[in-house]
Amino acid sequence: MVTTRQSQHLFPALAVLFFLIGGAVFLPAAWAQGNVEAVEETRLDHEIDRWFGNIIDHYLAPVLFASVYEFEKVDGDGRPVLGEDGTPQTSGFPLIVVVLVAGGLFFTIRYGFVNIRLFFHAIRVVRGHYDDPEDAGEISHFKALTSALAATVGLGNIGGVAVAITTGGAGAVFWMWVTAIFGMSMKFSSCTLAQLYRRFKEDGHVLGGPMVYLKDGLRERAPAWISWVGYIFSPLFAILTIMAAFGGGNMYQSNQTYEVMRQVFGFGDSEALPIAVGLLLFLLVGIVIIGGIKRIGEVTSKVVPAMCVGYVLVCLIVVVTNFRDVPAMLLSIPRSAFSLKAGLGGFLGIVIVGMQRAAFSNEAGLGSAAIAHAAARTNEPVREGLVAMLGPFIDTVVVCTMTALAILITGVHKEVAGMGGVEITARAFGSVHGLFPYFLVVAVFIFAYSTLISWSYYGERAVEYLTGPYSPHAVGAYRIVYCLVAAVGPLLSLTNVITFADMMLLSMAFPNILGMVLLSGRVRQLKNDYEERLAHGEMQVLR
């Protein structure tokens, strides 16, 4: 809670922050449009979206989505995709996708396929068999996992999967699975390091995550000639975390919440509805994030499991209703994943879409979940890393797959030109029963809300790390701005929001994965020691 005394510093900080945001976004965009007076003649939400898109296209995308290989775009039949001027369009293989693929393969091999061999042991840990209330930390293994899942099991699992299928076809689902399975090893690595290098304050408050271990870990373990990069990677990761919190953790969630409400309730293109939805989320997010990780853990430990189970059950009902088509649908996923019907360009397009959407959904390799898992009560860093690696499996292999099956088996992805991600899933649900889309509204709202409050915590820890002794004032300002961004999300188009969210989220992988590679020897040493003690019965089962 921000006190009266703190507010003396808070409001000047807010004024500066709003000035910087306004200068960075509105002035260049208005200049690029060349006619500021025309702003007053259009709807506010359309104008804000136009400005936002200009910033993304001209300033962010060329840098953050740089390509290592260019190829010609093709449709499902292998024909070139032409632009408005009739020239063939090209697409690129983003460098970030290469980094994610290489990272997943490297850590899986480096740690001896820990994602498979210790999978069932991780489940026992989550069930509380090794929980000791005397261990250092703020929350249990289970609450740490649900807090991290609350940030990942969100609208990427509903709208993001729909976008992947409409863009890359059924084959994109296969590459989402591959990314998730290998991503489990990256999640294990980052969360083990977060526990190992976490910092405790006098009040028991924990600060951990890549911004801490990239600096402290590299300073301690890396050779002298390379350890200095931690001083660059650490603040860079913190800045990217704050921007990702505003993008994928905030704007995308509020945007798609509005879209599904508009679609299901048939509000049309109302100017008042996006503002109303934004204000509602502004208030609800503010109520919870004041309480910090303990309050967030209490909320998500109850909401996330119940909503995941309910959502999966509804998806299963949609699938079972069309059970005759299940075999053909399941075969279409691997067949489409490796199909060269559309040539090399079509194949690469499917791979890129699947991997991007999986990374956006489960955040493996990005390091975000490590911030929540750093707060878990345990004296075994590896144990929390094992808990964390269950996240990509639950998020992508379970929840995303359920969405994909519901969409593919109903075939709605073939007849949804111009519709947003969540709208496609709503159409799939509605094909079975008229009440199911209303359940989806509830699921979307809860998933979005849980993601909003969990990502607010990630951003807070990044702000705290960057501002140090001034963090109480900076965190207070951040919370207010974060709530305001939730109110703006419904005013923007899905294309601009998802592009911005992708860029901010996926860019976190650059410093995190490169830093983890340098620290992988320490993680491997700890993992081997943990496995040896486990095999010799030295791990005490408390219940």
Q: Write out pLDDT tens, residues 114-152.
A: 999 999 999 988 887 777 777 777 778 888 887 787 777
Listed in sequence order, the residues at least 6 apart from 372 whose beta carbon sits closer than 8 Å to its beta carbon are: 144, 147, 148, 151, 293, 454, 457, 458
Q: Is the dihedral of CA 522, 523, 526, 532 positive or negative?
A: negative
**pLDDT at residue number 190:** 94
**pLDDT at residue number 91:** 67
**pLDDT at residue number 162:** 82
Neighbouring CB atoms inside 10 A of 130's CB total 20
Domains by residue range for the chain, with CATH: 24-64 (no CATH), 96-535 (1.20.1740)
Read off the amino acid at residue 133. Answer: P
Listed in sequence order, the residues at least 6 apart from 541 whose beta carbon sits closer than 8 Å to its beta carbon are: 129, 130
- Cβ burial of 466 (10 Å; 0-12, 13-18, 19+) is middle
Listed in sequence order, the residues at least 6 apart from 356 whose beta carbon sits closer than 8 Å to its beta carbon are: 94, 97, 164, 502, 506
In contact, 223 and 519? CB cutoff 8 Å: no
Strand partners, 69: 93
Listed in sequence order, the residues at least 6 apart from 152 whose beta carbon sits closer than 8 Å to its beta carbon are: 361, 362, 363, 369, 391, 392, 395, 451
Neighbouring CB atoms inside 10 A of 40's CB total 8
Burial 275-288 (b: 16+ CB within 10 A, else e): bebbebbbebbbeb
**pLDDT at residue number 383:** 92
Task: Look at residues 62, 71, 61 and name the one whose alpha carbon lies nearest to residue 352.
Answer: 71
Task: Look at residues 190, 194, 176, 192 and name the one whose alpha carbon lies nearest to residue 101.
Answer: 176
Ranges in the chain, pLDDT < 70:
1-86, 88-93, 154-155, 204, 266-271, 290-301, 340-346, 360, 415-421, 494, 541-543
pTM score, two decimals? 0.78
CA gyration radius, the chain: 23
Structure tokens belonging to residue 88: 């063939």
